[in-house]
Amino acid sequence: MTRKAVKGSVIADLLAENPIQDYEALDFEFPDEHINEVDCEEEGRADVWEMYFDGAVNLSGNWIGAVLISPDGKHFPIAVKLRFDCTNNVAEYEACVMGLQAAIEMKIRKLEVYGDSALIIYQVKGEWQTKDSKLIPYQKYLLELIKKFEEISFTHLSRDKNQFADALATLAVMAQIEEG
């Protein structure tokens, strides 16, 4: 026998036919009305920045995007057009490199890096080997950049959680940016 969807009207009918006899309204009194905000920030994490990166390769061109987010929530977006043909993995490496270079220029010492490219994240962490000859120099350069940070971590995100950097790279592809 197949399962059938229960429609909302059936549930409403059931509730109407079987009322609760000892129903009491909820008590909406909030005993801590004076509390306006609860701060959950971890101690010692106040100086950690976040970086999200993504690359976009399509018929319109090759673009990369990254965004640096300060501990107080300010966003610093970066978008660059690549003037050479490349694969999606090269664009992802370029985006990560560009974001790290910007972080170094901004004198950021502690950084959490997020990207939706599992290949880049796991190669940088040393969990996957780099076999593509085009990617080996990128990985080596990225490892050199990493040494310039006091603390750095890399985390793989699904594409839906990397929307800002993805949108930045995609919008950069769609925008017409003049030379200079």
pLDDT along the chain (180 residues), means of 10: 51 69 64 58 72 83 86 88 88 94 96 91 89 91 95 85 58 53
Rounded to an integer, what distance in angstroms lies between the CA atom of residue 180 and that of residue 172? Answer: 16
Buried b (16+ CB within 10 A) or exposed e, 56-69: bbeeeebbbbbbbb
- pLDDT at position 2 is 43
Rounded to an integer, what distance in angstroms lies between the CA atom of residue 63 and that of residue 100? Answer: 16
CA 146 to chain centre: 19
- pLDDT at position 137 is 93
- pLDDT at position 1 is 34
Tell the residue number behind the tokens 């949108």, with chain if given: 167
- pLDDT at position 3 is 46
| Contacting residues for 122 by C-beta, under 8 A, at least 6 apart | 128, 156
- pLDDT at position 95 is 92
Answer yes or no: pTM beyond 0.75. Answer: no
